C-alpha cells in the first residue's frame, strides 16, 4: 500500500544538491517500485502537478509528472530539445509553501527518460506540461523556482 512521503521544504540543503542518476539495474526491484508508487501518491495527495525525488529526501534523478493521460514516472530524465520561444507564467512549489513567482521557461521541450520498467521514452511537451518538466528537472540539479522567479510573493495565512 503506497504511503504519503514527507515533503522537504526550503531551506533544507537536500534541495540544493545535484542528484545522481538512478541505478537502472534496480529499476524493477520491489523497493524501487514502492518508491515510484509513493512519489505518485504523495504528489496527488499534496495537490502537486509534479514531484522530484529530492523533495522527498532522495537525491536521485526521478520525477513524477501529472499529465492529461495520467501520472508518469520519469527516471533519469533529460531535456534534449528546447524551443527558442519562452513564456512567463506563475509557479509555486510544494517545497516552498505559499510562495509564488513569475518564471520564464521554454514553451516546448522534448524529454527522454526511462519509464518504471526501464523502457526508454520520449515526451514532446508544450505549455504547462513543458513548464512542469523543466521545474522538476531543475530540482534534480539543485535549482529552485525562486532562483529564477521575478515578483516573488508569499500568500501565508496568519
Length of the chain measured in residues: 158
Catalytic residue among 90, 98, 122, 136: 136
C-alpha grid cell for residue 93?
Answer: 512549489
Whole-angstrom Cα distance, residue 40 to residue 152?
28
Q: CB of 32 within 8 A of CB of 53?
A: no
Q: Which helix (H) or strand (E) holds 103?
A: strand 96-106
Note if 69 is an active site residue.
Answer: no
Q: Which helix (H) or strand (E) holds 130?
A: helix 127-140
Residue 109's beta-bridge partner residues? Answer: 82, 125
Whole-angstrom Cα distance, residue 135 to residue 106?
11
Residues annotated as part of the active site: 136
Amino acid at each position: 500500500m503506497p504511503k504519503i512521503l514527507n515533503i522537504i521544504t526550503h531551506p533544507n540543503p537536500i534541495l540544493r544538491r545535484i542528484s545522481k542518476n538512478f541505478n537502472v539495474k534496480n529499476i524493477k526491484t520491489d523497493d524501487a517500485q514502492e518508491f515510484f508508487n509513493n512519489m505518485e501518491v504523495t504528489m496527488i495527495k499534496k495537490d502537486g502537478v509534479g514531484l522530484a525525488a529530492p523533495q522527498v529526501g532522495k537525491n536521485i534523478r526521478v520525477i513524477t509528472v501529472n499529465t492529461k493521460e495520467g501520472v508518469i514516472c520519469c527516471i533519469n530524465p533529460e531535456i534534449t530539445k528546447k524551443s527558442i520561444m519562452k513564456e512567463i507564467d506563475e509557479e509555486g512549489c510544494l517545497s516552498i509553501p505559499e510562495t509564488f513567482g513569475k518564471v520564464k521557461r521554454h514553451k516546448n521541450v522534448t524529454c527522454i527518460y526511462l519509464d518504471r520498467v526501464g523502457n526508454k521514452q520520449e515526451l514532446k511537451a508544450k505549455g504547462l506540461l513543458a513548464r512542469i518538466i523543466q521545474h522538476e528537472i531543475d530540482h534534480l540539479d539543485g535549482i529552485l523556482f525562486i532562483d529564477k522567479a521575478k515578483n516573488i510573493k508569499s500568500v501565508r495565512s496568519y
